Amino acid sequence: MAKLTILKEGEATLRKTCRPVTEITKRTKTLLDDMLETMRHADGVGLAAPQVGVLRRIVVIEVEEGEVLELINPEIIEASGSVSGVEGCLSVPGRQGIVKRPSYVRVRALDRNGVMQTYEGTDLLARCFCHEIDHLDGHLYIDKADKFLYPAEDGEYYDDED
């Protein structure tokens, strides 16, 4: 496995729409493995392929340690509720924002073996589904944030009103 470079805000690739995966190959599986290693090394809970420079509809998520979700061509098939919460991104380091997302999301995607799966999530997992799928369409959370939070010297975050 290899640790990949995570693209940062301002890179044109992050604003492009990804193409669907038409065939799951050994290269696809290697990318999934490398993305997981990269995400873990960066202390993230989700990573989308465009964040590592690959314009394919591929996402890895690990909200709970050891519970890895590998999503190929994911699509949200149901969403309900609404909750605002703090969101950050490996491609937008040093900032967080308050973003309104559905509180429940159901997603359909292929797994690494090409089998269609359905996943459901609430709270952080629902937020991750939305955040990572947004990446596949060239959207960053900063496009949807109601306000931003910035790091303070004590490790806490403050907003523009503090």
Task: Give me the residue spans of the domains in the chain.
Answer: 12-159
Q: What is the pLDDT of residue 150?
A: 73
Kindly give, in sequence order, each residue whose CB lies less than 8 Å from that of residue 16, ignoring residues fewer than 6 positions away: 50, 55, 138
Q: What is the pLDDT of residue 157?
A: 65
| pLDDT averaged per 10 residues, the chain (length 162) | 92 98 98 98 97 98 97 98 96 94 98 98 97 98 91 68 54
The upper half-sphere exposure of residue 95, i.e. CA atoms within 13 Å in the direction of its Cβ, equals: 14
Provide the annotated active-site residues. 132
- Is beta strand 104-110 parallel, antiparallel or unpaired with respect to 46-48? unpaired
Q: What is the pLDDT of residue 160?
A: 59
> Cα dist. 67→45, 76, 85, 144 in Å?
11, 20, 22, 28
- Collapsed DSSP state (helix, strand, coil) of residue 25: coil
- Are the C-beta atoms of residues 33 and 79 closer than 8 Å to each other? no
- What CATH number has the domain spanning 12-159? 3.90.45.10
Q: What is the pLDDT of residue 161?
A: 60
Q: Exposed, middle or buried by CB within 10 Å (0-12, 13-18, 19+), for 97?
A: buried
